[in-house]
């Protein structure tokens, strides 16, 4: 695994367009604890160019996550994301178990981190139990549409400890965007906090915001 | 936009764009053929892949053809539908496994953009459970065995069960030969999706398409 188990990370998801992405990346503080994500819409709009462009902008040392949300044809998708420069690649937990197994295997053989996104999965442990090998990272995720249209849906923080008690893997939390939610994730022992809303468009506050988030995540 | 009285053949393309251009050039001219920009193709080339396929097919048909964007939307229904419809897609797909909020938003946004909505039931045991939760139905339900799920069978008996209750078209994906295409149409499917034979032997595109097209006449 490329990520360190002892560190806490801030993952900044870029979702609007490549021009905004460039402005945002330029303002980010240099830190090994920042992971830059090529969001799914960006990949679907620009293709793997979104990944390679972000890697180029963030620098050769940067850790880029490709939010491919793979559901099928794992091998093909892992290879194209890795070739474009991704260090971590995302597969959906709702996909067929065969897809997830192939995905993890391909990530391992290429040497990139495998991340399984548990959006809309009731019990992530049920999925983990079925896998041949566990992934490097599990993402607990409340989707954007879920957040928008069903405000009562919560991120299940209690699952973090549940999973970590049984598996030696990192946990990322996505779907909360305020400082309060970031604190809550870290308090509950998350290793990676994924944010996007505050980083959708670049502003004069982008740099400060990233620094503030980083301070919370220790 | 699809005619419920017709049967359609949907060919999914996942090779490089220059190869896809050649393959589309080899297809017979037919309204019964739907051209799909496969998920890996979209993730590799982005929406310009969709526009490229649209242009190639239009050149061949000498009029605009039907392009399916296999988005496999899981979240952000609105953003993704807008992106592919402005790229020229006639239909887009959403995962049945996505949160209900996403599927509903996806169907609404497709309707607003005047493109057909297709919900892909890959890895869903009971498509009915999803359909019952939707306030608005999609135009098409895709029954789908994923490529990575090589051991499973496509539940063809679901076709008539769904059609008996809901006014939707049924597309079947994951069968790879003439025999499975024949049996999906025999079981009342409206669309059959194929890709592997085209992907593996692109030089035989013309012959393959002709054989499959016999089934939808």
pLDDT over threshold 80, residue B152 = no
What are the pLDDT digits (tens) for B72-91? 999 999 999 999 999 999 99
Cα separation of B162 and B168, whole Å? 8
Average pLDDT, chain B: 94
Chain B residue nearest residue A175, CA to CA: B75
Chain centre to alpha carbon of residue B108: 19
Q: Is B129 exposed, middle or buried (0-12, 13-18, 19+ CB in 10 A)?
A: exposed
Cα separation of B196 and B24, whole Å? 15
Cα separation of A174 and A69, whole Å? 14
Cα separation of B85 and B82, whole Å? 5
Domain ranges within chain B, ordered by starting residue: 8-216
- What string of DSSP letters covers chain A? --S-TT--EEEEEE-S-HHHHHHHHHHSPP-TTEEEEE-HHHHHHHTTHHHHHHHHHH-TT-EEEEEEEE-S-HHHHHHHHHHTT-SEEEEETTS-HHHHHHHHHHHHHHT-EEEEE-TT-S-HHHHHHH-SS--SEEEEE--HHHHHH-TT----THHHHHHHHH---EEEEES--SHHHHHHHHHTT-SEEEE-GGGSS--TTHHHHHHHHHHH--
| Type and span of the H or E element at B112 | helix B100-113
Question: 3-class DSSP state for residue B90?
Answer: coil
Model pLDDT, residue B54: 98
pLDDT over threshold 90, residue B147 = no
Count of CB contacts below 8 A, A vs B? 125
The closest alpha carbon to A110, from A86, A145, A141, belongs to: A86
Average pLDDT estimate for B86-107? 98
Average pLDDT estimate for B15-42? 96
Chain A residue nearest residue B84, CA to CA: A45
Question: 3-class DSSP state for residue B9?
Answer: strand
Model pLDDT, residue A121: 96
pLDDT over threshold 90, residue B146 = no
Model pLDDT, residue B26: 95
Which of B42, B49, B95 is facing A71, going by the closest CB pair? B95
What are the pLDDT digits (tens) for B30-44? 999 999 999 999 999
pLDDT band at B53 (very low <50, low <70, confident <90, very high): very high
Which residues of chain A register pLDDT less than 50?
Answer: none
Q: Facing residues of B191 across strands?
A: B8, B171
Which letter does DSSP use for residue B1 in this model? -
Q: Using an 8 Å Cβ cutoff, are A10 and A206 in contact?
A: no
Contact B146 A74 (CB under 8 A): no
pLDDT over threshold 80, residue B175 = no
Q: Using an 8 Å Cβ cutoff, are A157 and A180 in contact?
A: no
Residue length of chain A: 218
| Type and span of the H or E element at B189 | none
pLDDT over threshold 80, residue B151 = no
Model pLDDT, residue A89: 98
Which of B40, B75, B95 is facing A73, going by the closest CB pair? B40
Q: Which tokens in the block code for residue A133?
A: 């090998």
Cα separation of A105 and B68, whole Å? 30
Cα separation of B95 and B49, whole Å? 20
Model pLDDT, residue A173: 96
Model pLDDT, residue A205: 87
Which residues of chain B have a CB within 8 Å of the CB of A148? 101
The reported pTM is: 0.95
ipTM of the complex: 0.94
Which residues of chain B have a CB within 8 Å of the CB of A96? 122-123, 146, 148-149, 152
Model pLDDT, residue A178: 85
Contact A149 B76 (CB under 8 A): no
> How many C-beta neighbours within 10 Å does residue A197 have?
14
Q: Using an 8 Å Cβ cutoff, are A96 and B97 in contact?
A: no
Model pLDDT, residue A151: 84
Beta strand residue intervals within B38-137, DSSP E: 67-73, 91-95, 116-120
- What string of DSSP letters covers A28-75? SPP-TTEEEEE-HHHHHHHTTHHHHHHHHHH-TT-EEEEEEEE-S-HH
Alpha-carbon separation of residue A174 from A155, A184, B49, B80, B98 (angstroms): 8, 12, 29, 19, 16
Chain A residue nearest residue B42, CA to CA: A44
CATH of region B8-216: 3.20.20.70
pLDDT band at B12 (very low <50, low <70, confident <90, very high): very high
Average pLDDT estimate for B89-97? 98
Which of B39, B76, B101 is facing A72, going by the closest CB pair? B39
Superfamily of domain A9-216: Aldolase class I (3.20.20.70)
Chain centre to alpha carbon of residue A16: 16
Q: Are strands A113-117 and A63-70 parallel, antiparallel or unpaired?
A: unpaired
Domain ranges within chain A, ordered by starting residue: 9-216
Any B CB within 8 A of A181 CB: no
What are the pLDDT digits (tens) for B54-68? 999 999 999 999 999
Which of B43, B74, B149 is facing A98, going by the closest CB pair? B149
Q: Using an 8 Å Cβ cutoff, are B195 and B23 in contact?
A: no
């Amino acid at each position: 695994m490329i990520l360190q188990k002892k560190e806490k990370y801030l993952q900044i998801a870029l979702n609007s367009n490549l021009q905004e992405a460039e402005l945002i990346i330029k303002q980010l503080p240099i830190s090994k604890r920042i992971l830059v994500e090529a969001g799914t819409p960006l990949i679907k709009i620009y293709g793997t160019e979104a990944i390679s462009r972000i890697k180029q902008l963030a620098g050769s040392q940067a850790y880029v996550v490709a939010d491919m949300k793979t559901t099928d044809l794992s091998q093909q998708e892992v290879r194209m994301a890795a070739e474009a420069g991704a260090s971590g690649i995302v597969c959906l937990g709702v996909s067929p178990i065969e897809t997830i197994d192939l995905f993890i295997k391909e990530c391992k053989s290429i040497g990139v981190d495998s991340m399984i996104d548990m959006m809309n999965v009731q019990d992530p442990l049920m999925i983990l139990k079925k896998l041949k090998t566990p992934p490097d990272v599990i993402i607990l995720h409340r989707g954007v549409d879920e957040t928008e249209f069903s405000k009562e849906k919560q991120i299940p923080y209690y699952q973090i400890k549940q999973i970590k008690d049984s598996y030696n893997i990192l946990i990322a939390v996505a779907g909360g965007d305020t400082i309060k939610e970031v604190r809550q994730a870290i308090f509950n022992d998350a290793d990676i906090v994924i944010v996007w809303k505050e980083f959708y468009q670049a502003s004069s506050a982008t740099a400060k915001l990233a620094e503030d988030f980083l301070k919370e995540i220790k | 936009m699809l005619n419920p009285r017709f049967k359609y053949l949907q060919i999914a393309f996942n090779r490089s764009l220059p190869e896809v251009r050649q393959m589309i050039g080899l297809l017979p001219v037919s309204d019964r053929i739907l051209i799909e920009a496969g998920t890996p193709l979209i993730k590799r080339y982005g929406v310009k892949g969709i526009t490229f396929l649209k242009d190639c097919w239009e050149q061949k048909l000498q009029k605009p053809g039907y392009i399916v964007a296999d988005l496999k939307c899981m979240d952000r229904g609105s953003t993704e539908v807008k992106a592919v419809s402005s790229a020229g897609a006639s239909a887009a797909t959403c995962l049945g496994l996505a949160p209900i909020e996403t599927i509903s938003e996806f169907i609404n946004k497709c309707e607003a953009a005047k493109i057909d909505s297709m919900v892909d039931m890959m890895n869903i045991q009971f498509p009915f459970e999803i359909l019952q939760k939707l306030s608005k139905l999609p135009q098409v339900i895709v029954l789908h065995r994923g490529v990575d799920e090589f051991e499973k069978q496509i539940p063809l008996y679901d076709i008539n069960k769904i059609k008996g209750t809901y006014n939707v078209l049924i597309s079947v994906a994951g069968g790879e030969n003439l025999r499975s295409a024949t049996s999906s149409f025999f079981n009342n499917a409206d669309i059959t999706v194929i890709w592997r034979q085209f992907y593996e032997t692109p030089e035989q595109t013309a012959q393959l398409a002709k054989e499959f097209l016999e089934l939808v006449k």
